[in-house]
Structure 1
Amino acid sequence: MIFEMTIQVRVEDMKEGQKWYETLFNREPDFVPHEGIAEWEMIPGCWLQVAEGTPAEASGPLRLGVTDIEGERERLVRELGIDPFDIYSREEVPVRWGTCTDPWGNRLGFFEYINKTEEKNRIQTILKK
């Protein structure tokens, strides 16, 4: 039985990497087990681990659900200096999405449900677990 998951991204400078991800998530890590590792529980049972090391090539993107993709893009451009990313949609896909990279080349994506009732239901389902 699988009951949790952890996804790892690597950064070459842990101090700067942790600071960058703290700004991305608007909070400090939930767990720092030892030097060179910081972890955030994104939703119950789903962790993002930032580790010091050489970033993996051609991995990702790690996609994060947001409720306002334009607002999140504006915040990341302003607070983290990322390049503005395009936001895409297709008629048959229930979300809009866009992709950027962190300063170490890790690909990060964001998505927003088009149907806000569906989004609200997904949030409620996740928070109940």
Structure 2
Amino acid sequence: MAEGQRWYEILLNRRPDFIPHEGVAEWELIPGCWLQVAEGIPSEGNGPLRIGVTDLKAEKDRLLKELEIDDFDIHSRSEVPVMWGTFADPWGNRIRLFEHVDKDEERKRIETILGELIFDR
């Protein structure tokens, strides 16, 4: 569990927000949306957990260095508004990072999802 918690601390660039009991660590990714890492045997093919980043190439480079994950390709298609890349954690859980190609669209998505929470204060 300690190894898994540390791995996700590096991935998310922060310590857990809540540790309810031994064997469980939780991060609030956005208000009301939590990632829970728990001790045990993962189900095969879990995920992907999709995480938006502002600079996919830089984040890929950081994770290749700091977590020593397997290299992964960055994909894009003209009809899809994001670039993405998928890799696995050491336990086989799939994680997909994505970056909005259109930064105005990214801002609109953030406002739609978090608008009242961050823009109406």
1:88 to 68, 75, 83: 75
Instruction: Map 1:1-129 to 2 at 5 A.
Output: 14-128=1-115, 129=117
TM-score, length-scaled by structure 1: 0.86
**CA drift at 1:124:** 3.2
TM-score, length-scaled by structure 2: 0.91
Q: Secondary structure at the match of 1:48?
A: strand
Once residues 39 and 15 of structure 1 are traced to their aligned partners in structure 2, the CA distance between those partners, rounded to angstroms, is: 13
Q: Secondary structure at the match of 2:87?
A: strand
More strand per residue = 1
Would you identify which runs of 4 or more consecutive aligned residues in structure 1 move more than 4 Å? Answer: none
Measured on the aligned residues, the alpha-carbon RMSD in Å equals 1.0
Q: Does structure 1 retain, via aligned residues, the 8 Å contact 2:46–2:92?
A: no
- Identity among equivalent pairs (%): 66
Deviation per residue, 1:82-119 (Å, 9 max, x gap) = 11210101111111111000011111001111101111
Q: Which residue of 2 aligns with 1:9?
A: none
Once residues 95 and 2 of structure 2 are traced to their aligned partners in structure 1, the CA distance between those partners, rounded to angstroms, is: 19
**CA drift at 1:125:** 3.3
Long gaps (5+) in structure 2 = none
